[in-house]
Chains A and B, each alone.
Chain A
Amino acid sequence: GDSVTQMEGPVTLSEEAFLTINCTYTATGYPSLFWYVQYPGEGLQLLLKATKADDKGSNKGFEATYRKETTSFHLEKGSVQVSDSAVYFCALRTLSGNTPLVFGKGTRLSVIA
């Protein structure tokens, strides 16, 4: 079945450091790919998405490129801030029947000043 694998955390970075969170997927067909963010005590928010190969999703300084050849959707940010501390989930969605979002296990990011 469809699955998402993302790097395990926690990840601790200093402010202004470069961030990469790896995400790879397995899916039949051509999924849409997403990154969601969950701040402490809150629900999930869509951070960015890409719906086809070579698309780049971007938001709030975060970017991820849909790489079909490597089945990857790595999240990057050039300079993290303390306010970016959260849990980040990679997810995929295929358009077959009732298929909902399939999530990775999440990566906790802590940014220290």
Chain B
Amino acid sequence: GAVVSQHPSWVICKSGTSVKIECRSLDFQATTMFWYRQFPKQSLMLMATSNEGSKATYEQGVEKDKFLINHASLTLSTLTVTSAHPEDSSFYICLARGGGGQGANSPLHFGNGTRLTVT
């Protein structure tokens, strides 16, 4: 089946540094990538939506200059957390749409998530 490879699976970084998270669709073209964030013991909250070759659309309250999303190709999307702070510590997970069907009917595939800890 369709696979989304998300790296790294976990990362610890110092406050003020930037961290890049990658999601690659290994055997299909991801026309749309959704990025979610999950705080401990809470649900998944949509951060932003990106279509290949276009600027990402951010949800209300999500800082676009802090969470940089790039979706330059149909198989790769990246989320960069810039100038990370301890409050950015969270579980980030990508959700790719593609690999069959058309448009909104295409299947959805999760990455395995990245646990970010900022010290």
Interface residues of A (CB under 8 A from B): 41-46, 89, 93, 95-101, 103-106, 108
Q: Please state if A98 and B113 are interface contacts (CB–CB under 8 Å).
A: no
Residues of B within 8 A of A98 (CB): 32, 49, 51, 57, 104
Residues of A within 8 A of B51 (CB): 98
Give Cα A46–Cα B42 distance, bound, in whole angstroms. Answer: 18
Q: Please state if B95 and A101 are interface contacts (CB–CB under 8 Å).
A: yes
* Chain B 30-65 per-residue mask, 1 if CB under 8 angstroms from chain A, else 0: 001010000001111010010100000100000000
Residues of B within 8 A of A93 (CB): 108
Q: Please state if B41 and A103 are interface contacts (CB–CB under 8 Å).
A: no
Residues of B within 8 A of A101 (CB): 34, 95, 108
Instruction: State the main secondary structure of chain B at its contact with A.
Output: strand
Q: Please state if B43 and A89 are interface contacts (CB–CB under 8 Å).
A: yes
Q: Please state if B108 and A44 are interface contacts (CB–CB under 8 Å).
A: no
**A18 vs chain B, min Cβ distance (A):** 25
In-complex Cβ contact of A105 among B43, B97, B113 (8 A)? B43
- Besides A98-B49, A105-B42, 9 more A-B contacts (Cβ < 8 Å) are A42-B113, A43-B111, A44-B110, A95-B105, A97-B104, A98-B57, A99-B104, A100-B46, A103-B44
In-complex Cβ contact of A103 among B43, B105, B113 (8 A)? B43
**A19 vs chain B, min Cβ distance (A):** 20
Residues of A within 8 A of B49 (CB): 98, 100
Q: Please state if B112 and A42 are interface contacts (CB–CB under 8 Å).
A: yes
Give Cα A104–Cα B49 distance, bound, in whole angstroms. Answer: 19
